[in-house]
């Protein structure tokens, strides 16, 4: 009787057993692999997203929120895999990104060129003047 119940739990993958497989093992390994590939530097958005989702999965497991923990663990694994892939492509030189291409869309480059053309001689392009007051000063 006890053996059939235990076998049913293992097959279903529910509760702590599913957590151990999906979150503790697979997601943690994926995040560690991404870190080893240099994702913290080369794919920070994906890497830190994966780390955050993994931490949240562990917290939810502590509250016996198994289904939500699995979901967060799966998302952590997906982001970690993306981070690892992106970091490896950047290290191989297949993916080069500059500040201009990261911040601007298709039409933004044209708008930037127009703004630079409007700047008169002797003015610094891109300079900003602003007054900020803190605490009623």
- pLDDT tens, position by position, for the chain (137 residues)? 554 544 454 444 556 776 667 677 899 999 999 999 999 999 999 999 999 999 999 899 889 888 898 899 999 999 999 999 999 999 888 876 654 555 444 444 444 444 444 444 444 444 445 555 455 54
**Cβ contact 66:19 at 8 Å:** yes
Strands (E), 2-91: none
- Selection from 64, 53, 59 nearest residue 30 by Cα: 53
**pLDDT at 86 (0 to 100):** 95
CA–CA gap between residue 83 and residue 74 (Å, rounded): 14
**Burial (0-12, 13-18, 19+ Cβ within 10 Å), 54:** buried
Helix residue ranges per DSSP H, the chain: 2-12, 15-19, 28-36, 39-42, 44-62, 66-92, 99-103, 108-118
pTM (predicted TM-score): 0.59
**pLDDT at 107 (0 to 100):** 47
**pLDDT at 134 (0 to 100):** 53
CA–CA gap between residue 38 and residue 18 (Å, rounded): 29
CA distances, 127 to each of 97, 110, 124 (Å): 24, 19, 6
């Amino acid at each position: 009787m006890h053996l059939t119940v235990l076998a049913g739990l293992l097959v279903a993958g529910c509760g702590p057993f599913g957590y151990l497989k999906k979150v503790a093992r697979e997601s943690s390994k994926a995040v560690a692999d991404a870190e080893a590939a240099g994702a913290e530097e080369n794919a920070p958005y994906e890497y830190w997203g994966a780390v955050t989702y993994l931490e949240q999965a562990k917290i939810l497991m502590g509250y016996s929120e198994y289904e939500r923990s699995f979901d967060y663990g799966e998302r952590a694994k997906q982001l970690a895999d993306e981070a690892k892939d992106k970091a490896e492509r950047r290290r191989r030189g297949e993916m080069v990104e500059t500040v201009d291409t990261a911040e601007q869309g298709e039409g933004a480059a044209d708008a930037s060129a127009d703004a630079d053309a409007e700047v008169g001689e002797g003015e610094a392009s891109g300079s900003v003047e602003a007054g900020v007051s803190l605490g009623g000063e």
